[in-house]
């Protein structure tokens, strides 16, 4: 009953037609004009400050002009514009002219760039176009170097989209990030984008047994936040409301990430205090109750819809040997979700397990995709950088999935079960012994593998491999190798930059990724074959091979020097390294 009453109050508050200020066009504004602005310097009380128009930066970007003003307020004396003031509305004779949105590097005065209100409200005119990154020139690889490159690519793209400016000394005023329950080191990935204020919670939580009309009211000058991670720990970015037009709400006066059409949660926020700084002052902010959804993230501002409810991806992590569960939700977006999932996992691992030193992580997990097969993860990571290897892999997998070429996907949930030990679980293939080097077709090869771990202890494993049915006198090869050695060989053998177009093919490729805790056995023949759209075609008749070569483009197929005839794998309770290659022969009759 109480929940229904709160929801009813929520609807009533937002359905009441609000009176919003008249707009002053850019053409009406002149240098020397004076007016007032609104923002919050403490708690939730909107305060008024004075300003004077100094001039304009025409064609700040193509077709856009920036208004330059000097703000006069005791709070800002002796410093520049506060980080967190993004979106603070400005008025002349009661008419809104725009929002404080840009600052000047190392300014000793509170001089700000103002985005005209005409540009801000145009953010709601855009079509609902889905954002994606063109990954057509990215090779589908998951080695350490490649997945690190993906992480850097995402970070650079986000920074570039946020800080786009033809005038390098004028940059968007940074939003204030607030986190609860997060290790500062795990947030270093997002540090270039926001002013970081970690684990701040000064004011009391909203009482669940009270209904306060102010929780659901929103006005120009109010503080708002956009949570990117919610649940057992949280991360959000805060700024100021510029303009309210019924259920439409406009924020910041500059982009959040400049991502176009989005679906992010929008919350009210509370200003704890103002912190002066020689470099750049800022507001201490705390996120509060949800009021709606962010639907547009454009160059001139962010637009939200009051009363909406965004979709967020549930993520559950169970630490088996600690008997600890973590439940969080992260925003769903092709560029943000990969990073946020990786950051969340790193936060859990760094807070629950040792932050530095050797450790091993046994990981089982699933990524559930609507109307598609699940991504299955089952692997072992060990060493000084085991956490980084695991989280970067998840980042890369989510990045490729959410930016696939066929269609926009919906990740329904992400689940992980992780066990950790503060020991190294690594072993090397010291030697591989086979019973002979000449075999009859169909005969069994007895393979003996001798492993030596980091402490010098040896273990022996045996496996039987079947000889291929080849012509008498034929040569063939047996390769025994770890995932990296096998991938290196395949990269040289398959010279193709093919990226799966079909989502189902991409899911299959990810599920077939080689694992750290496996020994792979591959039987090869020195016979040319074709690799076409992710599949290997061995022993094709020459006539059919010529047809494929003639009718297919080089980026989707490759001629291979060696054909794979059989492949096996053996699970080992350690990360495996090493390779042995044998040249064998089929007996003459």
Per-residue confidence of the chain (589 residues) as pLDDT tens digits? 444 444 444 444 544 444 568 999 999 999 999 999 998 887 778 889 999 999 999 888 888 899 999 998 888 776 667 777 889 999 999 999 999 999 886 667 888 899 999 999 998 887 766 566 666 556 667 777 777 888 888 888 877 777 666 666 788 888 878 888 888 778 777 766 665 554 454 444 444 444 455 656 788 988 899 999 999 999 988 889 999 999 999 999 998 988 889 999 999 988 765 555 544 555 566 677 899 999 999 989 999 999 888 999 999 999 998 899 999 999 999 989 999 999 999 999 988 876 556 689 999 999 999 999 999 999 999 988 889 899 999 999 999 899 888 888 999 999 999 998 888 899 999 999 998 989 999 999 999 999 999 889 999 999 999 999 888 999 999 999 999 999 888 877 666 555 677 899 889 989 999 999 999 999 988 876 655 555 555 665 555 455 445 445 555 556 667 788 889 999 999 999 999 999 999 998 7
For residue 81, give Cα distances in angstroms to 274, 280, 494.
Answer: 11, 7, 56
**Rounded-to-10 torsion of CA 244, 287, 1, 329:** 110
In 3-state terms the chain splits into helix, strand, coil percentages (rounded to 5) of 20, 45, 35
Task: Please tell me the pTM assigned to this model.
Answer: 0.84
Coil/strand/helix, residue 545 = helix
Here the tokens at position 522 are 């591959």
Residue 413 forms beta bridges with which residues? 368
Residue 567 forms beta bridges with which residues? 522
Residue 147: count other Cβ atoms within 10 Å of its Cβ.
21
**Angular region, 388: left φ>0, alpha ψ -120 to 50, beta rest:** alpha
Place of tokens 């309770």: 573
Q: Which of 7, 20, 584 is nearest to 248 (CA)?
A: 20
Radius of gyration for the chain, computed over Cα atoms and rounded to the nearest angstrom: 30
Here the tokens at position 495 are 């010279």
């Amino acid at each position: 009953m109480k929940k229904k009453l709160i929801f009813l109050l929520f609807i009533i508050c937002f359905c009441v037609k609000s009176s919003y200020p008249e707009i002053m066009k850019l053409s009406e504004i002149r240098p020397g004009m004076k007016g007032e602005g609104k923002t919050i310097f403490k708690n939730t009380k909107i305060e008024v400050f004075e300003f004077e128009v100094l001039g304009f930066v025409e064609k700040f970007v193509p077709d856009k002009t920036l208004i330059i003003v000097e703000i006069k307020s005791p709070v800002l004396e002796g410093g520049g514009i506060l980080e967190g003031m993004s979106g603070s509305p400005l008025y002349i004779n009661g008419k809104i002219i725009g929002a404080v949105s840009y600052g000047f590097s190392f300014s000793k005065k509170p001089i700000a760039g103002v985005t005209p209100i005409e540009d801000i409200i145009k953010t709601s005119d855009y079509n609902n176009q889905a954002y994606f990154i063109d990954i057509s020139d990215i090779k589908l690889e998951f080695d350490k170097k490649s997945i690190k490159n993906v992480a850097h690519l995402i970070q650079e793209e986000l920074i570039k989209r946020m800080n786009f400016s033809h005038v390098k000394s004028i940059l968007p005023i940074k939003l204030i990030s607030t986190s609860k329950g997060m290790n500062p080191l795990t947030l270093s990935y997002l540090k270039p984008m926001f002013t970081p204020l970690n684990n701040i919670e000064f004011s009391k939580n909203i009482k669940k047994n009270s209904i306060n009309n102010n929780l659901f009211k929103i006005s120009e000058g109010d503080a708002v936040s956009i949570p990117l991670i919610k649940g057992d720990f949280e991360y959000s970015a805060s700024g100021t409301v510029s303009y309210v037009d019924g259920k439409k709400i406009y924020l910041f006066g500059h982009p959040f990430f400049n991502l176009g059409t989005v679906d992010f949660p929008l919350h009210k926020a509370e200003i704890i205090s103002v912190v002066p700084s020689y470099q750049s002052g800022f507001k201490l902010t705390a996120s509060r109750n949800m009021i709606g959804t962010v639907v547009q993230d454009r160059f001139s501002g962010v637009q939200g819809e009051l009363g909406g409810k965004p979709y967020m991806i549930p993520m559950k992590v169970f630490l088996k040997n600690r008997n600890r569960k973590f439940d969080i939700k992260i925003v769903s977006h092709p560029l943000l979700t990969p990073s946020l999932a990786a950051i969340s996992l790193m936060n859990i691992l760094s807070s629950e397990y040792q932050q530095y030193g050797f450790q091993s992580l046994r990981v089982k997990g699933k990524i559930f995709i609507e109307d598609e097969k699940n991504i299955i993860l089952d692997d072992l990571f060990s060493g000084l950088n085991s956490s980084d290897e695991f989280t970067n892999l998840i980042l890369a997998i989510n990045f490729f999935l959410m930016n696939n070429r066929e269609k926009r996907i919906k990740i329904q949930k992400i689940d992980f079960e992780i066990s950790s030990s503060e020991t190294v679980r690594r072993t090397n293939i010291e030697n591989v012994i086979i019973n002979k080097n000449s075999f009859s077709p169909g005969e069994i090869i007895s393979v003996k593998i001798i492993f030596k771990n980091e402490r010098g202890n040896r273990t022996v494993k045996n496996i039987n491999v079947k000889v291929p049915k080849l012509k008498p006198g034929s040569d063939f090869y047996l390769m025994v190798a770890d995932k990296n050695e096998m991938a290196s060989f395949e990269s040289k053998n398959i010279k193709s930059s093919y990226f799966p177009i079909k989502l189902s093919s991409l899911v299959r490729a990810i599920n077939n990724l080689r694992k750290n805790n496996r020994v792979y056995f591959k039987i090869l023949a020195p016979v040319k074959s074709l690799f076409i759209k992710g599949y290997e075609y061995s022993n094709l008749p020459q006539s059919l091979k010529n047809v494929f070569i003639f009718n297919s483009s080089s980026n989707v197929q490759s001629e291979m020097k060696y054909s794979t005839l059989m492949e096996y794998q053996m699970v080992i309770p350690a990360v495996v390294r090493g390779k042995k290659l044998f040249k064998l022969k089929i007996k003459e009759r």
